């Protein structure tokens, strides 16, 4: 890709390098993407969010966990700061663990249309039991 195209690629990103405004729910978060410079090759991209938080929809108590996202991009890659803000938007959102992980997968697949993707949620114990949720696309 030539330098001019690379410059356009960076100019299209509106969140990176700006003052951070944290969305208060996933509906208000904006996922951004950029062109995959190696669409001819399958390679895994892995994101780790070790400080994922959400609220229990029954008790309104905070839930804590780790979200891991693994994907093989097709034409688009996820921009990491936008992804971080999207994941942080669950902080004040009431959602069951299973629903959160499946929603993250659905939203990310809609945003970047990957060849393959897996989202894993490993949630800390509350009430003596931990929950692990895995879902995949492709």
The residues assigned a catalytic role are 56, 63
Provide φ and ψ at 88, rounded to 5°.
-65, -25
CB 73 within 8 A of CB 40: no
**CA pair distance 95, 88, nearest whole angstrom:** 13
In sequence order, the β-bridge partners of residue 119 are 69, 135
């Amino acid at each position: 890709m030539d330098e001019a195209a690379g410059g356009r690629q960076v100019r299209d990103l509106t969140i990176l390098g700006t003052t951070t405004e944290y969305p208060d729910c996933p509906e208000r978060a904006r996922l951004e993407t950029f062109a995959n410079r190696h669409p001819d090759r399958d390679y895994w991209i892995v994101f780790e969010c070790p400080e994922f938080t959400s609220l229990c929809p029954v008790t309104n108590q905070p839930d804590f966990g780790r979200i891991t996202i693994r994907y093989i991009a097709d034409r688009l890659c996820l921009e990491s700061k936008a992804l971080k803000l999207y994941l942080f938007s669950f902080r004040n959102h009431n959602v069951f663990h299973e629903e959160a992980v499946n929603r993250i997968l659905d939203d990310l697949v809609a945003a970047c249309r990957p060849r393959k993707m897996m989202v894993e949620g490993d949630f800390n114990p509350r009430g003596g039991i931990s929950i692990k949720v895995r879902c995949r696309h492709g």
